Structures are given as structure tokens and as C-alpha cells.
Structure 1
Amino acid sequence: MNSAYSQTFHNPEALFNPSPYGFSHVAVVPAGSKLVFVAGQGGEENKDGKLSTDFRTQVQHALNNIKIALQTQQLTMRSVVKVTTLVVNHDTAKLNIIIEEFKKIWPDNQFPVNTLIPVPRLALDNMQVEIDAVAITKQ
């Protein structure tokens, strides 16, 4: 746990260790926290909605778009407790990219809880990934 944030992440010993996969099994949010929900963010590079054809680039932009949204509430990626990751044509190579990019965002392995869902299509043509987030802040 980072002392600047009050949430804690747990990985029960009776479950497999999810850290190598870039997520935690359990996130505990203290009473009195305000929840901040960020809508699913795709890999758009800018406000014009331009999408790269590269999966890694889309993951990087999706995470950066979440970061931008959180900044409007004076929050950082460290305040994120839960994400949902939607991936078109999910495979091991894409999973490895997600893991690598999550480890860049959360290098101390204090990963948010994550549900990854393979999907056949997302909202926009050529969109390969969409990530939403739930963050916390003190009230």
C-alpha cells in the first residue's frame, strides 16, 4: 500500500498469484471514500478520435485517457481500485502487452482489481481495447 492512498490490495494465499498478470484479487476501500467512475476509454490518440492500428499503442492511449480523466478530479492512476478491460480478438500476445503496460503504470505491483473480457467488437471501427476505471478519493 502506498501511504498516500488508503486502499489496500490483497491476494489470498488460497488463490493463484495474479501479480505476474498485472492485477489483484481483492481491493479494499476505506469507509468514507468517494468513488470516481471513468467511462470506458479506447485507444484514441486525441480528442478527434484517431486510432492507431497497433494494439500496444491503443492500450497506452486508453490508460493515458483514464489518467487525463482522473486529473480532472485531482486524482492519479494510484487512486484506481478497479478496471474492466475489453479486448477484441483476445490472445496471449495481447494479454502480455496489457500486463507489460499495467506494470509501467503500477510498477510497485499494487495493481487494481481487473476483469478482462474478450469481445468480438467495440464501439468504433478498428478499436481493439477499451478500459474503464473506478478510483477513490477522500470525501
Structure 2
Amino acid sequence: MKHFIFSLLSIYAFTAEAQTFKNPSSLFDPTPYGFSHASSVFTPGQFVYISGQSGGLGKEHTLSNSFREQTQIVLKNIVTVLDSYNLKPENIMKITILIVDHSPEKLKIWNEEIRKIWQNKPFPASTLIPVPKLAIEGMQIEVDAMAFKAMK
């Protein structure tokens, strides 16, 4: 019985705060740029790996010429996948952003749009990679993600 109670308390302790996001004070503050330096998970659960989502709209995968519109659609597509697992953007631990012909203007747009999705910080850990082109002609952005769903 003693071991059973200890096991239950251990499970509760691990599920009380499953996700941690860290920004060590000796490093620059990344929150203005929409990411955290690191994220970790302390409890058993389910990892959800989201393949690179493009800015293509709907089943026809229609691509706008606007970087902002593609960015909005990419984020909407990620939220759609999260919804299928009953998860929210806050469950995303890590994202990788690929931007064609990256520029300060595109970074500004990315930062504005990501704040609409991650209204409540913390931001996930993040890597942005400038690329010359993506898989389909006209794609300007692709984002993949790794999310975590704690077991209850």
C-alpha cells in the first residue's frame, strides 16, 4: 500500500508541471523574437511531430504571392493539426522555420503573426533557417513542429 501511494504521488508530481521553457539570464532575451532558448518535458506522455506545413491553402494547396498570407496559413495549418490531437500552440515544444530569401521584413512579419497564435507566452524553442527555395515552386515558408501531450 505504501508503494502504491508513493507511486500515485509521484505521478501527480510529474504531471503537475509537464512542460518547462527556459531563457537563462546570462543569454539574450529571445521573447521579442517569438521563441524560448530551451524547452523540456518532465512527464510521460505523447509526442506529436508535425511535418513541415506550407502556406498552401486548403486541399488545393493554393499559394498566395504574399509572404504574410502564407505565414498566416502555415500557422493555421499547424493549429489544425494540433486541434486533431486536442492540443493548443502552448503544447508545441520546438519549431523549425524555413524562409525563402529571408530578410528583416520577413522576420518582422513572422514575429507579428506568431504573436497572434502564441498569445500566452512561453514561446517554443525555435530555429529559423534561411533557404534559397522549398519543395514546391512559390512556397515562401515552411514550419515543422514538435508538440507534447501529457498523460493524465
Larger radius of gyration: 2
Q: Which one of 88, 95, 104 corresponds to residue 76 of structure 1?
A: 88
Q: Compute the displacement of 1:123 (Å).
A: 0.7
Q: How far is the alpha carbon of 1:87 from its aligned partner?
A: 0.3
Quote how far apart the aligned CAs of 1:108 are.
2.4
**Alignment map for 1:31-110 (pairs within 5 Å):** 31-110=43-122
Contact 1:5 1:78 in 2 (8 A): no
Find the aligned partners of 1:30 and 1:58 in 2 and give their Cα distance. 34
Deviation at 1:44, TM superposition (A): 0.8
**In structure 1, which of residues 17, 26, 43 is the aligned counterpart of residue 38 of structure 2?**
26
* Alpha-carbon distance between aligned partners in 2 of 1:93 and 1:69, rounded to the nearest angstrom: 28
Tell me, in whole angstroms, the C-alpha distance in 1 between the residues paired with 2:86 and 2:62.
26
Change (3 A) 1:5 1:49: farther
The structure with the greater share of residues assigned to helix is 2
Q: Which amino acid aligns with 1:91?
A: S
Question: TM-score when scaled to structure 2?
Answer: 0.85
**Which runs of 5 or more structure 1 residues have no equivalent in the other structure?**
none
Q: TM-score, normalised by structure 1?
A: 0.93
Q: Aligned pair 1:11/2:20, yes or no? A: no
Report the identity percentage: 45
Moved over 2 A (4+): none
Aligned residues: 136
Would the aligned equivalents of 1:82 and 1:113 in 2 still touch at CA under 8 Å?
yes
Q: 1:85: Cα distance to partner?
A: 0.1
Runs of at least 5 residues in structure 2 that lack an aligned partner in the other structure = 1-15
